[in-house]
Amino acid sequence: MKTLRAAAGPFLERPYFKSEEIERICIDELQAAKLYPDAPSPVRIDRFIERKFNVTPIYNDLPEDVLGYTEFGENGVQAIVVSRALSEEGTKTAEYRLNTTLGHEAGHGLLHSYLFALAAQSSPLFNDEDVNSTKILCRNQGEPSPSTRKRYDGKWWEYQANQCMAALLLPKPLVAKCMIPFLENQGLLGIAVLPGAQRDHAINHVAGVFQVNPVVARIRIGELYPKSEEKQLVL
């Protein structure tokens, strides 16, 4: 990781992570917590939060547009709070969305705790309505999508937390194993690609195996097996 001086926003500096750095951080942390699955299966994200941060997720009544927040102190994460409505809805969709929200908040804990230690030392002006000196508030902006960067309006900390969420809930090596039945070797080099006819089947399968919403599985599969690769080999 390297850091950049923040030109705007609530933090004095902005951490910069390459995608592979986030992937490695998440796998290392899951393995350290003894929660990295032996085979494709759901990651116990609630247990990961307990073991890594020594806090138990709290379910509270929150404003309708707020999914949760992470609270920080001198020693890192002090609390992760999630909307009670998500935990009480009782549907599979809500359960999967709860996993996504917990993964997102865990991402803040892994990537951004040190920023609040810096804030305590320098007393910067927190001028974002969703970030104060101890807390990152995460609003309901819809599920992540390829246009996430635009929707976050420069809130890089939210984009990074979503990257971390995907790497925690859908570890790349496990997704690769899960995808084997849907891939075809194409081209002179026999590169494994995901045929268009198999994409929706693969998305639904991965979503069920890892217990995430299909839209999250779609984005993750799109990152690992871009449609452009198949087109290039066919042309």
Q: What is the pLDDT of residues 169-224, one digit of tens each?
A: 999 999 999 999 999 987 767 788 899 999 999 999 999 999 999 999 999 999 99
DSSP label of 131? B
Mean of the per-residue pLDDT values for the chain? 85
49 burial level (CB within 10 Å; 0-12, 13-18, 19+): buried
Q: Give the integer Cα–Cα distance in Å for 22 and 111.
A: 9
Q: Per-residue pLDDT tens for 7-43?
A: 656 677 788 899 999 999 999 999 999 999 999 999 9
**Would the pLDDT of 141 be above 80?**
no
* Nearest of 23, 42, 44 to residue 33 by alpha carbon: 44
CB-side exposure of 157: number of CA atoms within 13 Å? Answer: 29
For every residue of 17-73, DSSP letters joined together read --HHHHHHHHHHHHHHTT---SSS----HHHHHHHHHS---EEE---TTEEEEEEEE
Distance of CA 67 to the CA centre of its chain: 14
Q: What is the pTM of this model?
A: 0.85
Q: Per-residue pLDDT tens for 72-102?
A: 987 889 999 999 988 888 889 999 999 999 9
